[in-house]
Amino acid sequence: MAPDRKISRRDFIHYSAAGLAAASAGGAIGGCSSSASRLPTRPLGATGMQVSLLAFGGGSQFLANEDGAWEAMLERAVELGVNYFDTSSSYQWEAAMSSEERFGEVLSSYRDRVFLATKFDSREPAEAMREFDRSLQRMKTDYVDVLMIHSLVPSDDIAALERGVYAELRRLKEEGSVRFIGFSSMDSAEKSREAIEQLEFDVALLAMNPTGYGGFVTDALPAARVKNVGVLAMKVMRDIVGESATADELLRYVLSQEGVAGALVGHHGMSRLQENIEIVRAVASDAEADMASAERRRLESRLATLAGPHALCWARPGYVDGALS
């Protein structure tokens, strides 16, 4: 990390206060905060961040939007109250602008109104820090709200992570370049649980949907609740929404899970973004919206046949998160 990347404690406090004030405006509705014009929010674990129930994913679906379309989509998301934007240093398609660069082009103008999260892939500390330094440059910011180890897998050694990239995460958090630290995983609920139990992460991004694939709802999520780790659900609809289940069912399923702050969804097309925002608004405003346990079990039973690589492209060997294939 270059020395001029380090922000002062005074600036860090200013950034934190501004972000929290912008995100937490409004009264309480069903355990969420909202206002008439903004998307409802929930607390992200013990971070103090109030994040929109629908978070914006910067992976393959977002990258599929053509130039001239993605700019308006980001603008519209902010306008409608989405305040959490997630990307990764590896989200890029061939020679096109990376997801981080797209975020920087638009979201830098709204920096005091949004939370930015990104990830690094390398498990080698020096390379991971080079990734992060590049991420800051791409996103035109001096700090990120959440920095994550990208995609924990069964072969990851938690002790090795603790000595290596996790130690770097802690350092960045102490110096103020990163407000909170975390990890993502769509491959190993067991390794995610171990990471939550053995290390001090603030945020976890976990693959959760009614197919039950990976066991994140039953294995990793309870551990996160015990330690008050903020959880966002990903892979909520990918390869499921359509004939198998509706977007309403899938969003309702994850948002009714205790301890889930929001659903992270990538969107291809403005209409999909608008539709999902309206669903989330309806879920938050409906006193009967929470999916009952029996209803969740019926949905899980109906979609259990999709729990595997045969149906879920992101569960296949060699899948690259953020690619358009």
**pLDDT, position 290:** 67
Inter-CA distances, 78 with 131, 151, 277, Å? 26, 27, 11
Half-sphere CA count of 125, side-chain side, radius 13 A: 14
Q: Is beta strand 260-265 parallel, antiparallel or unpaired with respect to 54-57?
A: parallel
In angstroms, the CA 233 to CA 228 distance is: 15
**pLDDT, position 243:** 87
In this structure, which amino acid lies at residue 157? D
Q: What values do phi and psi take at 205, rounded to 5? A: -110, 110
Report the b/e string of 92-129 with b at 16+ CB within 10 A.
Answer: beeeeebbbbbbbbbbeebbeebbbbbbbebeebeebb
pTM of the model: 0.88
Instruction: Classify burial at 160, counting beta carbons within 10 Å of its beta carbon; exposed 0-12, middle 13-18, buried 19 or more.
Output: exposed
Residue 96 confidence class, pLDDT cut points 50, 70, 90? confident
Q: Cβ of 48: how many Cβ atoms within 10 Å?
A: 16
Over residues 43-67, mean pLDDT: 96
pLDDT digits (tens, 9 = 90+) for 132-189: 999 999 999 999 999 999 999 999 999 999 999 999 999 999 999 999 999 999 999 9
| pLDDT higher than threshold 50 for residue 317 | yes
Q: Measured in whole angstroms, how far is the alpha carbon of residue 260 from the centre of its chain?
A: 11
In angstroms, the CA 216 to CA 315 distance is: 14
In angstroms, the CA 51 to CA 55 distance is: 8
**pLDDT, position 289:** 56
Q: Indicate the average pLDDT of the chain.
A: 88
In angstroms, the CA 321 to CA 310 distance is: 17
pLDDT digits (tens, 9 = 90+) for 190-214: 999 999 999 999 999 999 999 999 9
**pLDDT, position 321:** 77
Q: What is the 3-state secondary structure (H, E, C) of 28-78?
A: EECCEEECCCCCCEEECCCCCCEEECEEEECCHHHHCCCCCCHHHHHHHHH
pLDDT digits (tens, 9 = 90+) for 110-140: 999 999 999 999 999 999 999 999 999 999 9
Looking at the domain covering 3-24+39-311, what would its CATH class be? alpha beta
pLDDT digits (tens, 9 = 90+) for 250-298: 999 999 999 999 999 999 999 999 999 999 999 887 755 568 889 999 9
